Structures are given as C-alpha cells and as structure tokens.
Structure 1
Amino acid sequence: MIAFAPRENLQRLCIIRTLFVGSLVVALLWAQLRLNLLLNLQALGSILLVSTLLTLVTLWRLKAAAPVTQTELFGQLLFDVCTLSLVFFFSGGATNPFVSFYLVPLSIAAATLAWPYVWAMLLLCLLSYGVLLFFYVPLADLYPQIRVQGDVTRMAQLHVIGMWLTFVISSLLITTFVVRMASALRRKQRELATHREQQLRNEQLMAIATLAAGTAHELGTPLSTLKTLLREMQLDHASNPSLSEEIQCLLDQVNLCRDSLNTLVCNSRDNQPRSMEIQQMLTRLIDRWQLMRPQERVSIDIATSLSGLSTLWDPTLDQALINLLNNAADQSESISLSACTDKDSFQLRVRDYGKGISARNAEELGELFHSEKHEGMGIGFSLSQATIERLGGQVRLYRHPVQGTVTEILLPLIPRNPLSP
C-alpha cells in the first residue's frame, strides 16, 4: 500500500525532528541571552547533538534498499519521546509550557502504526509526563504563580496537575479516534486499490476477449482444412496401423480445437453460471485434459464426501482449470490431483513435482503477460484467476515443503436441496 508507507513516514519524522532541534536551539539562545534563564546548556546541547546524529544516520539508512518496518519506526518515535523527556527534565519538567509536545509523537504513532504500538506509545507518554510532575530541574521563572488569596504554592500545583489531566484526556481522545480514522482510511485505500486493479485487469481481459473472438473466426477455416486432409491421409494409409494411430491422434487434437472454438462461441451467447455436480465436473475435466496431454501421468484422489455436492459452473471454468493443470504438467512429467471439502467450499489441489515456484514469481502471479515459461504468453493464470474469482472462488499457489508447487482452488458449495434424497 502506498499511503502510510513506513519509509515515507520515517522521512517525514526526520523532517519533524530537524525542525524540533532547530526550534529548540533558537529557544535556548533566546532563553539564555534575553531571558537570562539558568539552563544546563551542556546537558541540553548533548541531547540535541545526539538527536542530530541520529537524524543523519537515519537519512543515510533510508538510502538503502532494505524495507522500513513498523518496529523501526516505533523505535525512532521511542527515541524522540526519551529526547523530549530529557529536555523537559532539565527545563522545568511538567511546568514547562511546551510539555504538551508529547502529543506530536503520539499523534504520529496513532496515524501510522498498528494499535499495539500506539497503546505502548500512549502509556510511555503518560508515564513520562507523570514522572516529570515530581522529578525535574525546577526553573522559578517557568513556575505558574497564581496571585489569589490562599496558598500560592498549592494553587500552582493544582494548575500543573490540571495540565497533566488535560494531557491525559487529550491523549486518550487522540489515540482512540485517530487510530480509528487511520484504520478506516487505510481500509478505504485498500478497497480503492483493489478496485483499480480489478478494473484494469477487466479492461485487459476484455481486450484479450475481443482478440480471441477474431482469432477464433480466423482459425475455423484452417482447422476444417486440416481435418479434411487428415481424414484423407487416414484413408490413404489404412494399411499402416502405426501411422493411422498417429493420424487419429492428430484428428483428436484438431477436434479438440474445434470444440474449444465452439465453446467460445457458446460462451459469448450464454455465460450465466449454473449448478453442476462436482464429481460430474471433475470426470469431464479429467477426460478432456488427458485427451490433450495423453503422455502425462496423473494420480487422482477424489474424496467420497463430494458425492452429491454441487458448485457453480460455467463453460469458462473448464478452461480455467485446464490452464492450471497444464501449468502444473509443464513443470514435471507427473502430477497429483486431489479433491475434498473445506468447510463451505470445494477444494481442488494440483501438485507438480518440479523445482517449485520462486518467491519472485509468486509475487508477480496474476499480472497479465507475465510468464516464467519461455514460450508462455502470460495470460493463462490471469484468465483462470479471473474466472474462478467471478464464480466466488479463490486460487493460490505456494511451494510444497518437500518438492514442487501446489495450486489450490476453492469454489463455493451450493447447499443441498432439503427436498432432495
């Protein structure tokens, strides 16, 4: 997600810290030269020097390619809170009028970090402010002297305690509402990003569908010619059984291509999903796929619990599952296929025994025109994913812990009709 990226937030934090250090330097010079306040300049100067060095180190670190984690950002904010505490300790503690500056790192944490870090930051700020009520280097000129009848010191203490209570309430309100607003904004941005990706993918798929329709029309004539020539060759070489068998295999492949083109035409007319029994769908799927890949060895394990269960189906689902089977078959000479139920879903797992999917390819899966195969067009997995998601399912790939890659497909189960046997 682009917004709230830890790297960008850390860059902004360095800018805020630089402004804070510069402002504090100006304030110290003003307090020393104009107000004649007795400040521990050596201690305060050392604190500002360390803060400046950390800022420079952080800017150098941001040039590296290593990702910035939320833990690292929390550590930077933790340093800033400690820096503020030390500065306030040497400049009047809770009587310092700028003590509410604790709200700055707290607000940053609330807007950018996960809630465990936010609540840890809240407790740290409240604890630091509370300690400064009792332990600090006092400055008489900063102590609020309220000129009323009665105990002046007691009234001043009540004023400081009132400032602390106001800080506590403000901190709780900021933490609670900013965290919720930031979470809502992140969620909205994720939804918008997902919607944009889906819209872009749909536009790309629509362009591919238009090209596919034109290509299907063009392929009709050469396929008919091939079919006619193969039949004539089969008649001419009827006396050669081995050659006739090979010609029949070619005829089967041509007929399969013709069926695929006819399916494409039917899909353009009626692509409404309907219910189909899972075992029937799998039987048709496996028979068709083994006709395409007769040399491939496949082990099949279909759970008996699938008997009588149905899922959503349309003609494009067969093509989507065949694409995933072909991807697995391209990686090894044998694959395994298992089907079972998973809560309210039908789970189909396809495993190959190849080298396994790499982490880089796993991140780029689903992007159109990306393929790890030399002759691949990079649209098979994207088309399969779009079809399965349109039917309410999910598909994911992951590396098998022993060998190969597992393709996991989840499709929703259609509830049984209570009147059915």
Structure 2
Amino acid sequence: MKALLSKFSHLSTINLILALRAMSILVQLCLVLFVTFALHYDIPLFPVLTIVLIEVCFNGVSYWRYQKKLRHGSVDIAIQLLADVLFLAMLLYFSGGATNAFISLLLIPIAIAAVSLPPSGLMLVACTAVLTYSLLLWTMPMHVMHGNMEGHFIGMWINFLFSAVVVSIVVAYLARAIKQHEIKLAQYREQQLKRERIIALGVASAQVTHNLATPIATMNLLIDELMEENIENQDVVKDLKQQVERCNASLHAFRETSEQIRTDQKFHINSDFLLNQLEQHCRLTYPESRFEFTSSLHKVVLASDASLLPALINIIDNAVRANVDIEQGVVKVVEKTTGGEWHLEVIDSGHGFFVEQLEKLGDYVQPSEHGFGISILLSNTSIERLSGKLTLSNAASGGAVVTLTLPIIKH
C-alpha cells in the first residue's frame, strides 16, 4: 500500500486524474457485470458499455496528448474533471439516476478541484456537479416519486448541495493553508542555507585576516629597516610602505566592522552623506572609470550599520568590472525616493545578466569570468539585515541594473 501511495505522490495532477479514471473504469466494468449477472438487475448493457468504451478512448487520447505536453494548466485539469462529471452523469442516468447510491461520487471531482484549481475553476466544477444531480433528479420517472419518497430524494439533493459547499470551502481552505505552509518552510530552509554560507564565509574571512596579520607586520618591519639603511630607490620603498599601511588600515577596518556586526550596532545615516562617501570611493579607487551620479532632491535618514557601505561598494565594484571590455563604459548611480522607500540604482554598460542567472536569483553565488559572485551574496545579506532588498534586472538599453531598496526612517 505504501509503495502504491509513493508512486501516486510522484505523479502530476493530470496524470493522477488519468490513473484514477483508469482504475474507476475497471471498477465500473466489474460492478456492471456483477449487478447484471449476479444480482440480476435490469441495466441497459449496450448504452452503459458504450459510455465505458468512450471513457476508455477519452482517457487514452488524454494520456497520449499530455505525455507530449510538458506543462499542464488549470484549464486542462478543469476539462478532465468536467469530463468525469459528464461520464458519471451518463452512467447514473442509465442505472437509476438520482436513486443510485453511487451518485455521491460526484463529490470526488469537487474535492480534486478544491485542491488543484483556483476559485473560479472550483466554482465551475462544483456548479456542474450540482446541476448534474439536479437534472438527474428532475428527469426521474413520476412513478418513483410517490408517497414520502419525493421528500426523501429532495432531502438527498439538499444533503448533496450542503456537502458540495462544505467540501469546496473546507478542502480548498486546507489545501491553500498547506501550500502557504510549504512556501514558508521552503523560504525558511533557503534562509538557513544562506546563513550557513555566510557563516562559512565569515569563518574563512576571519582565518585569512588572522593569517595575513603576521606577514604584513613582518613586511612593515623589513620596510622600516630598508628605509633606515638609506639604500637606493627610496621611492619604491616608500610606495611599499604606503601599500602595507593601506593593508593595515583595511585589516583594522575589517576588525571594527566585524565587531559592530557581532554586537549588532545600528545607527542612522543621511542619504546625501552615504552617497558622498560612495562617490568619493569611486573617484579614488577607479580614477580611470566614468561615473554619473544622480542625486535626489529629497534628503532622507536611513537605518544603517557597518556593513551597508561595503555592500554598496561591492555593487559598484561589480559594475566597474562589467565595463572592463566596454569602450566608453559608464557606471550610473541613481538615487530615488518613492513614498517610504529609498532606492539606489547602479547601472553599468556591460552585457547584463544572462537568462540563466535571472532564473536563479534565489542563489546569489554564481561564478562568472570576473569572480565567484560572493560579493552579491554578501551585499544581499547585509541589505536584508536592514529590512531592505536587492533586485537584479537588465536595462532596456543594455547592461545590468542592481536596485537597492531601504526603508526611510524620516525625511
């Protein structure tokens, strides 16, 4: 039994409906033969077997058609469920109509529609099933509706109507609640995987920083000794001294940033001050690159921490790398404010994101010819810590567009 359920669990909704219909066809044939030859009921075999044969042909054609079709939409599922209602209605019509005990099987297509169809499709299938029951009740012979039997059949119809409403509402609500729970669970797992990556990157970064401290200190001592010996090419030694001091400053800044992130220190920052810092970094670090800064007239206050500016610098660095092979490439930095949100767009003149990359935006670590994509992962994580979001897209004129959105504390 478990093996059979596991096989059904891997089927799509269409294939599951086709498999259930194939099983129901076998059950229908067995029941028709049993009530005809064992119970000696007077059932018109020719029309009943003709309907079963049509059902077999329809199921075979549907199976052949949907094997070639990769995607199955709600319309396909609705057509199959409406066909089931129609086939069941015809079989019931020739086997007792509304008096047949199997008329409650009309609830099965409603239950499947409640799980797999939107509200409009569910309403269509449910109304069709109720209308089918009503027509079967309406076409019953008058000699059957004698005495208290008329009230009994009407009561059965009311009970079916109530059951259809309950199944439509309750099953649909439970199905949507389960889907929402699965979506939240998938998002939680994705966040857990992202946190594990960040922790692994943080451990690796801390180890590299610790390992670099000793060699840099040794180089600093050697450079001091070279400067004291008054050797030739003192300019080269001074340049080396500046580079080593720059490395020391970077290590010191990394330690301070790590400490602030560890203690979760947040502060408020003006948008114009943040943009000025970013522009100063661009002019000093990439003097050969072209930048166009567009500032908003509305100055706002943002929530920030020590990781916000490095996250913005990572985005700028990626945009500059994208313009390496582009002549007259420009990196545009556009600041906007809309409602309660502050936007910063970084637009490069490169080739933009590939379709495969845009389809996998949930996984920000994507290797490319310029790097491993770790900077985007770190930038996105830093921005999410500040209740912001990072959006990747392609510009209409070419190039990639990275949009940073942060909530405004006050204007």
Check whether TM > 0.5: yes
Show the counterpart of 2:253.
Answer: 263
Show the counterpart of 1:236.
Answer: 233
Q: TM-score, normalised by structure 1?
A: 0.82
Show the counterpart of 1:196.
Answer: 189
Superposition deviation, residue 339 in structure 1: 0.9
Superposition deviation, residue 109 in structure 1: 1.2
- Three-state SS of the structure 1 residue aligned to 2:408 is strand
Show the counterpart of 2:304.
Answer: 313
1:26 to 23, 30, 46: 30
d(CA) in 2 for partners of 1:254 and 1:8?
62
d(CA) in 1 for partners of 2:59 and 2:302?
58
Aligned pairs (5 A) from 1:62-101: 63=67, 66-101=70-105
Show the counterpart of 2:282.
Answer: 289
Residues 375-403 of structure 1: CA distance to partner in whole angstroms, max 9, x if unpaired?
42232222111111111011111222332
- Three-state SS of the structure 1 residue aligned to 2:39 is coil
User: In the alignment, does 2:334 pair up with 1:343?
Assistant: no
Superposition deviation, residue 110 in structure 1: 1.0
1:165 to 158, 161, 167: 158
Q: TM-score, normalised by structure 2?
A: 0.84
Show the counterpart of 1:380.
Answer: 375
Aligned pairs (5 A) from 1:47-58: 47-58=51-62
d(CA) in 1 for partners of 2:131 and 2:65?
30
d(CA) in 2 for partners of 1:50 and 1:224?
86
Superposition deviation, residue 226 in structure 1: 7.0
1:175 to 168, 180, 184: 168
- Three-state SS of the structure 1 residue aligned to 2:101 is coil
Q: Which amino acid aligns with 1:94?
A: A
Q: Which amino acid aligns with 1:346?
A: W
d(CA) in 1 for partners of 2:9 and 2:347?
36
Superposition deviation, residue 63 in structure 1: 5.0
User: In the alignment, does 2:316 pair up with 1:325?
Assistant: yes
Q: Does the aligned pair in 2 maintain the 1:6–1:68 contact within 8 Å?
A: no
2:134 to 130, 133, 138: 130
User: In the alignment, does 2:271 pair up with 1:275?
Assistant: no
Structure 1 unaligned blocks of 5 or more? 144-151, 417-421
Q: Does the aligned pair in 2 maintain the 1:273–1:312 contact within 8 Å?
A: yes
d(CA) in 1 for partners of 2:372 and 2:83?
51
> Which moved further from structure 2: 126-135 or 37-46?
37-46
d(CA) in 2 for partners of 1:45 and 1:222?
89
**Number of aligned residue pairs:** 392
Show the counterpart of 2:123.
Answer: 119
d(CA) in 1 for partners of 2:211 and 2:335?
38
What value does the CA root-mean-square deviation take over the aligned residues?
A: 3.2
d(CA) in 2 for partners of 1:11 and 1:259?
63
d(CA) in 2 for partners of 1:6 and 1:72?
19
Q: Which amino acid aligns with 1:342?
A: T
- Three-state SS of the structure 2 residue aligned to 1:330 is helix
Q: Does the aligned pair in 2 maintain the 1:253–1:292 contact within 8 Å?
A: no
Residues 307-341 of structure 1: CA distance to partner in whole angstroms, max 9, x if unpaired?
2x111111211222222222233333322111111
Q: Does the aligned pair in 2 maintain the 1:368–1:378 contact within 8 Å?
A: yes
Superposition deviation, residue 256 in structure 1: 5.6
Q: Which amino acid aligns with 2:56?
A: T
Identity %: 27
Q: Does the aligned pair in 2 maintain the 1:298–1:335 contact within 8 Å?
A: yes
d(CA) in 2 for partners of 1:176 and 1:109?
11
Superposition deviation, residue 10 in structure 1: 2.5
1:413 to 388, 399, 408: 408
Q: Does the aligned pair in 2 maintain the 1:336–1:352 contact within 8 Å?
A: yes
d(CA) in 1 for partners of 2:305 and 2:155?
69
Superposition deviation, residue 358 in structure 1: 2.6
User: In the alignment, does 2:114 pair up with 1:110?
Assistant: yes
The 1:82–1:57 alpha-carbon spacing in structure 2 relative to 1, beyond 3 Å, is: same
The 1:255–1:70 alpha-carbon spacing in structure 2 relative to 1, beyond 3 Å, is: farther
d(CA) in 2 for partners of 1:368 and 1:384?
10
Superposition deviation, residue 202 in structure 1: 0.5
Q: Which amino acid aligns with 1:98?
A: F
Superposition deviation, residue 274 in structure 1: 1.5
The 1:360–1:58 alpha-carbon spacing in structure 2 relative to 1, beyond 3 Å, is: farther
Q: Does the aligned pair in 2 maintain the 1:365–1:381 contact within 8 Å?
A: no
Show the counterpart of 1:401.
Answer: 396
The 1:362–1:255 alpha-carbon spacing in structure 2 relative to 1, beyond 3 Å, is: farther
d(CA) in 1 for partners of 2:181 and 2:154?
40
Q: Does the aligned pair in 2 maintain the 1:91–1:139 contact within 8 Å?
A: no
d(CA) in 2 for partners of 1:47 and 1:127?
20
Superposition deviation, residue 56 in structure 1: 3.7
d(CA) in 2 for partners of 1:56 and 1:189?
34
Residues 204-259 of structure 1: CA distance to partner in whole angstroms, max 9, x if unpaired?
210110000011122334556778869979x8376xxxx99xx96x9887666544
Q: Which amino acid aligns with 1:403?
A: G
> Which moved further from structure 2: 80-89 or 161-170?
80-89
d(CA) in 2 for partners of 1:325 and 1:299?
12
Structure 2 unaligned blocks of 5 or more? 1-7, 324-328
Q: Which amino acid aligns with 1:356?
A: G
Q: Does the aligned pair in 2 maintain the 1:106–1:118 contact within 8 Å?
A: yes
Q: Which amino acid aligns with 1:377?
A: F
d(CA) in 2 for partners of 1:251 and 1:131?
94
